[in-house]
Amino acid sequence: MNRVYVCSCFGITEQQVKKHAEDGACTPRQIASACKAGTDCGSCVRRIQALLGRGACPRRELADRGKPVLADLETELDEAA
């Protein structure tokens, strides 16, 4: 398997960052909370930002509507629908 490392400090791969993003991590800080990537030397933060892009993010969408982003995400999305 070809592994492209994003964070050498913690051995985090592109695939792992993308998986955390699919699970709801929308920012480098949320990725850091999920797997520590970006919390040591910081050289990978821009790469993480690039991987996250500006795609759809349920938490960002809630924030844009003035909803609490730390609340139960599924409940907030159900109410918005």
**pLDDT 10s digits, 31-73:** 999 999 999 999 999 999 999 886 656 666 666 666 665 554 4
| Cα→Cα distances 48→4, 27, 53, 71, Å | 12, 8, 9, 24
What does the pLDDT read at residue 32? 95
Give all strands (DSSP E) within 1-81, no chain letters. 5-7, 12-13
Q: Taking residues 3-29, what's their average pLDDT?
A: 92
Distance CA 43, CA 56 (A): 25
76 falls in which pLDDT band (50, 70, 90)? Answer: very low
Q: Counting every residue, how long is the chain?
A: 81
Neighbours of 38 (CB within 10 A): 24
What is the rounded CA–CA span in Å between residue 54 and residue 27?
Answer: 10
> What pLDDT was estimated at residue 59?
62
Quote the pTM value: 0.66
